[in-house]
């Protein structure tokens, strides 16, 4: 069996128009390197699936690369991704949100990076919003302060240059000083990886645009994963229904000795900001805070859990306040 190449996993939930754009972009830019595209369709609508497939080019339908896995219920993101993983047999995986699409081919370069750096488990490409602005898709592990300064939270928007923001989200890679970090390998001739250092910042420092840089985690909106690493570490933790499962997965890879990297030159992927969450804001907010609490509780010490629980309760309070305000409108 030929395992070289990428299998793509897309978890869809009633976003067929966006899903069509995602599929069309993959077939247009990455036809040769993609072996299969598995669409796990939560609460599937068979008529919408048929209509979508009819819109795709005849050649794409004839090659049968797209495999719909319809589900009667909403499995959530992690469980749906794991279902896709169970069907995959390729050397590499690509996770792509249905509300994201590929602008330029980059899987060939990604495969080269995996080959050059045998201890890299996860690669994050550059992700832009609809207006072409860089999204904070490369990140540091969250801390208690992250409950207040999130990637898109109100305090982050008010104070985008705050040191609390910059310690959690790499919004502008060019502002960070970079330095070489040796690969975990006995072959010293292999290229070196770079690592962000949020404490060292210079006006003249620039990030190497083509080389990977070590980060804590990258966004699951578009993530490239080595299948061998999944075999060693395991699939996603299904306790995370949606949100923070990508952070947890990357942390598990790192704890097992693998590296997670961000490549500023790889892409572009365009992601509609809040494309899915804006349709069910209260549902999304609840699961965001629930998963955040689960993540903190999974890794924090008992002392930190007290503060985390406080932050979680604050998030739930925010959830009920917003529900009440929306009910008044």
Co-location of 28 and 105 in the same domain: yes
E-strand stretches of 50-205: 66-70, 92-96, 100-102, 120-124, 127-128, 138-139, 177-181, 193-197
- Going residue by residue through the chain, which has 329 residues, state the pLDDT in tens, using 9 for 90 and above: 556 799 999 999 999 999 999 999 999 999 889 999 999 999 999 999 999 988 988 776 666 789 999 999 999 999 999 999 999 999 999 999 999 999 999 999 999 999 999 999 999 999 999 998 888 788 887 766 655 555 555 555 666 556 555 555 554 444 333 323 433 433 334 445 555 443 333 323 344 456 788 999 999 999 999 999 999 999 999 999 888 899 999 999 999 999 999 998 898 999 987 655 556 666 777 777 777 778 777 877 654 555 555 655 555 565 555 555 555 45
- Cβ proximity of 34 and 119 under 8 Å: no
- Cβ proximity of 12 and 42 under 8 Å: yes
The tokens of 4 are what?
Answer: 């070289």
Residue 68 is assigned to a structural domain of this protein: yes
Contacts of range 111-117, beta carbons closer than 8 Å, 24 or more positions apart: 111/5, 111/6, 111/33, 113/212, 113/261, 113/263, 113/266, 114/224, 114/226, 116/190, 116/191, 117/183, 117/190, 117/191, 117/193, 117/212, 117/259, 117/261
Co-location of 287 and 228 in the same domain: no
E-strand stretches of the chain: 6-12, 34-41, 66-70, 92-96, 100-102, 120-124, 127-128, 138-139, 177-181, 193-197, 213-214, 217-218, 222-226, 259-262, 269-271
Co-location of 297 and 233 in the same domain: no
Co-location of 213 and 324 in the same domain: no
Residue 1 is assigned to a structural domain of this protein: no
Co-location of 113 and 240 in the same domain: yes
Residue 121 is assigned to a structural domain of this protein: yes
Co-location of 208 and 314 in the same domain: no
Domain with 291 in it = 280-329
Domain count, the chain: 2
- Cβ proximity of 100 and 269 under 8 Å: yes
Last residue of a domain, one of 246, 274, 302: 274
Co-location of 260 and 291 in the same domain: no
Residue 123 is assigned to a structural domain of this protein: yes
Co-location of 16 and 144 in the same domain: yes
How distant, in Å, are the alpha carbons of 72, 128, 207 from that of 115?
Answer: 39, 26, 22
CATH number at residue 138: 3.90.550.10
Query: Distance between CA 286 and CA 240 in Å, rounded?
Result: 12
Co-location of 91 and 208 in the same domain: yes
């Amino acid at each position: 069996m030929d395992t070289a190449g990428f299998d793509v996993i897309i978890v869809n939930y009633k976003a067929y128009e966006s899903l069509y754009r995602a599929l069309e972009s993959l077939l247009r830019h990455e036809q040769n390197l993609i072996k299969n595209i598995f669409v796990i369709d939560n609460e599937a609508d068979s008529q919408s699936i048929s209509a979508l497939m009819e819109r795709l080019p005849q050649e794409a339908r004839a090659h049968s690369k797209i495999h719909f896995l319809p589900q009667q219920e909403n499995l959530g993101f992690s469980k749906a991704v794991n279902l896709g993983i169970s069907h995959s047999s390729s050397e590499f995986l690509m996770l792509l949100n249905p509300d994201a699409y590929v602008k330029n081919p980059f899987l060939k370069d990604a495969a080269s990076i995996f080959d050059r750096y045998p201890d890299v488990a996860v690669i994050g490409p550059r992700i832009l919003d609809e207006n072409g602005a860089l999204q904070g898709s490369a990140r540091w592990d969250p801390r208690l302060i992250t409950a207040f300064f999130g990637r898109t939270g109100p305090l982050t928007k008010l104070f985008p240059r705050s040191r609390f923001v910059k310690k959690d989200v790499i919004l502008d890679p060019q502002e960070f000083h970079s330095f070489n970090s040796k690969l975990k390998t006995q072959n010293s001739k292999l290229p070196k990886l770079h690592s962000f250092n949020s404490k060292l910042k210079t006006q003249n420092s620039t990030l190497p645009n083509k080389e990977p840089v070590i980060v804590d985690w990258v966004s699951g909106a578009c993530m490239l994963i080595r299948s061998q690493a999944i075999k060693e570490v395991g699939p996603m933790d299904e306790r995370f229904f949606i949100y923070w499962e990508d952070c947890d997965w990357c942390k598990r890879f790192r704890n097992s000795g693998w590296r997670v990297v961000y490549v500023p030159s790889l892409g572009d992927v365009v992601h509609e900001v809040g494309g899915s969450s804006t349709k069910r804001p209260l549902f999304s907010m609840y699961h965001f805070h629930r998963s955040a609490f689960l993540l903190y509780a999974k890794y924090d010490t008992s002392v930190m859990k007290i503060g985390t629980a406080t932050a979680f309760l604050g998030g739930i309070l925010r959830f009920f306040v917003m529900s009440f305000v929306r009910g008044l409108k």
